[in-house]
A and B are shown apart, each in its own frame.
Chain A
Amino acid sequence: MKSKLMLTSAVLAFVAGAAQAEDLTLCWAAWDPANALIELSKDYEAQSGNKMSFEFVPWTNFADRMLNELNSGGKLCDLLIGDSQWIGGAAENGQYVKLNDFFDANGISMDAFIPATVTGYSEWPKGTPNYWSLPAFGDVVGWTYRKDWFARPDIQAAFKEKYGRDLGVPATFAELKDTAEFFQGRDIDGKTVYGASIYTERGSEGITMGAMDVLYSFGFNYDNPDKPYEMEGFVNSEGAIAGLEFYKALYDCCTPPGSSNSYMGEGVDAFKSGQVALQMNFAFTWPGFDTDATVGGDVTGYFANPAGPNGDKFAQLGGQGISVVASSEKQEAALTYIKWFAQPEVQAKWWKLGGFSALRAVVEDPGFVASAPYAQTFLDSMAIVKDFWAEPAYATLLQASQKRFHDYVVAGQGSAKEALDGLVADWTEVFEEEGKL
């Protein structure tokens, strides 16, 4: 009788479990970490009984596709790992589920994550404890360099002769430009190489991410810290103008021919093919270099953004948080995924698979720095991040900077001051339309 009862209970539990099993769709960009997430999610499927489906969109179309989905109230995505700048719009338009109650109920504390990622990926309004996502993938713009070329005695001697100092990881942006200039057009093993690959892409967000990565350290600020949205003298400060002039100079002097529309993929190609000595790119690309047959191992070195003329060091934040889409009919199941994903052991495995965990228990682990050659650079970079506007009108603000920067840096139209004055005018108009000015 007892065994019959147990059998019945087991069958009922199985049936109940089967009835609750959901097919969840997670939407993200199509890139290497997405493949790692598929692998990681197999554990979730095994534990929960839910089935995971994935919708990955190439980066250049990611914002178009996913914002369209959110704006139309589409039901394609139950979970969305959306870009950090979307948080304001998604929160204010009710497109993401607010997670505060869920975090409280499940003992998930935002203090457990790197503070910059909480501010960047989860909070809206910024600086307030209103959370719309769980930090999922920490990312930041940094640099890779050809360690093997830097170590060659003939190259070191030539550099010292020209600049009177040792060739090494640049400590300032001025040194970075010297280094890039030194390598530009240089013959290495019978092949012409170039200085640096930097972001210049026009269509989505490329040149803004690249230029901002430099401008911050030169003194650019989005607005007056004491008077939000007051941009005159901050966006177009003397330091910001010098920073934009520097970025153009770097583009003109030291990039490979045909670099007028380069972003992450083009940067990876340029570096892996041995075309450039230095490469600006998001940290997510680094595991791919480390395991690459050509530039893997000791061939590649990593460094965080060097300092600007006044010693300031900042870097452009990348990365995303994972959110539950408000129009999803499977919100409860989607929340179980976030609960599972927040666990320290899952986050530790995430890092091992190539995902950049933002959990402090992972990155502050004594073994973290030694776990990968780029781990220290990742930590250094994450400590100095700044992010683009995360306002609901971020897309309009972004398009304005894309145009202003590309017109000046790549097309060579006007001056840096005119570009930034124009940007202040564009952004002022946007905030006036938003009723924030």
Chain B
Amino acid sequence: MSDPLAHRVASATPPQLAHRIRGLSDRTIAWLFVAPTIFLLLAINIFPLIWTIRLSLTNFRTNRPNNAVEFVGLENYRKILTDEDTWIALQSTAHFLIWTIVLQVLIGFTLAYLINKKFRGNDLWTTLIVLPMMLSPAVVGNFWTFLYQPQIGLFNYFIAFLTGADPASFSMIGDVALAPWAIVIVDTWMWTPFVMLICLAGLRSIPPSIYEAAECDRASKWRQFWTITIPMALPFLMLAVLFRGIENFKMFDLVVQLTGGGPGSTTLLTSIDLKREAFEKWRTGYASAYAVILFVTVFGLASIYVKALNKVKDR
């Protein structure tokens, strides 16, 4: 036996057990190892998905256990896709998604770029910057409602200080025009540090020798930034966008705490709309169809995006 460790392990295995294991093929043993994971995956992911699709084709309501469950075909899908409110919720979600990602990437990358420069207190600043993402979204939502309070909120006083406006003259979460931005600001405040950390990892993965070579070629800092830093950090940036995109598509807690979907339906994101259909109106079949539509949308977009990400990585 060439490997003494393997030899010792083999000789320490009780003969009966060794005989039993010797009776199994490598393929069987491999299946034995992955079987628990596959079982769990089937039980908590695949089965619920199939069950949801099945429910989406019925008129089932959880709060009506005595009612007959009827097969309604694609009727739920038709209703959702022709419902004006669905498209309004999708528009609100798109506004939230696009602006949070744009702001978080811009600010997060800028912060990462600055933090990547060695300076005194670097670690302290990094710790302070990442604090918001360590908080619970419910807590963040709650205290930002106070910050946004027109009469006592610090945010309003800060804006009033900058603009000279009366702090009580505007309500960030009560005004139709401002509320969509109010939720963007809070999410950006909370999750920019996450984007920053990913970008920082990307920046620190760039070998210094490339910059040294660029210096030798007399490339300007601006040129180095656009031809070295951005292309090499791009896969990390794209990864951050993917994570934040998926997270914000299903955003719920923070926005419910801040605005409850209001004023009116201005900040009614799809996840909040879905929750109301499923657990307030108890239209289980309808909500299942809604969930399937959202799942297909996210899955489809994420798949296209991951392909693009892989192409960038392979360049």
Contact = CB atoms under 8 A, between A and B. Distances in A.
Interface of A: 63-64, 67-68, 70-73, 89, 92-94, 201-203, 256-261, 392, 395-396, 399, 403, 406-408, 410-413, 433
A433 B60 CA distance: 12
Contacts of B280: 63-64, 395, 399
Contacts of A67: 63, 282
B263 A395 contact: no
A191 to B, nearest CB: 11
B64 A411 contact: no
Contact of B174 (A63, A71, A93, A410): A410
In order of increasing CB-CB distance, the 3 nearest A-B pairs are A411-B264, A260-B174, A257-B150
B264 A407 contact: yes
- Interface class of chain B by DSSP: loop
A258 B262 contact: no
Contacts of A92: 66
A411 B65 contact: no
Given A71-B62, A411-B265, A261 B259 contact: yes
B192 interface: no
Interface string B43-59: 00000000000000001
Contact of A71 (B63, B171, B281): B63
Contact of A403 (B64, B265, B282): B265
Contacts of A72: 62
Contact of A260 (B64, B173, B281): B173
A200 to B, nearest CB: 8
Contacts, number: 95
B221 interface: no
A396 B277 CA distance: 8
Contacts of A407: 264-265
Contacts of B64: 93, 392
A72 B279 CA distance: 12
B262 A202 contact: yes
A399 B281 contact: yes
A258 B176 contact: no
Nearest to A405: B264
Residue among B62, B63, B153, B169 with the highest chain A CB neighbour number at 10 A = B63
B235 interface: no
Interface string B167-191: 0110101111000000000000000
A203 B265 CA distance: 11
14 contacts: A70-B63, A73-B65, A94-B66, A202-B260, A257-B174, A258-B151, A260-B171, A261-B173, A261-B259, A396-B283, A403-B265, A412-B176, A413-B176, A433-B59
B149 interface: yes
B66 A395 contact: no
A72 B65 CA distance: 9
A202 B63 contact: no
A140 B282 CA distance: 27
Contacts of A260: 171, 173-175, 262-263
Given A67-B63, A93-B66, A261-B173, A396 B264 contact: no
Contacts of B168: 257
Nearest to B173: A260
A365 to B, nearest CB: 40
A93 B66 CA distance: 6
A364 to B, nearest CB: 38
Contacts of B263: 202, 260-261, 406, 410-411
B261 A203 contact: yes
Interface in B139-162: 148-151, 153
Given A71-B65, A399-B280, A410 B149 contact: no
Contacts of A406: 262-265
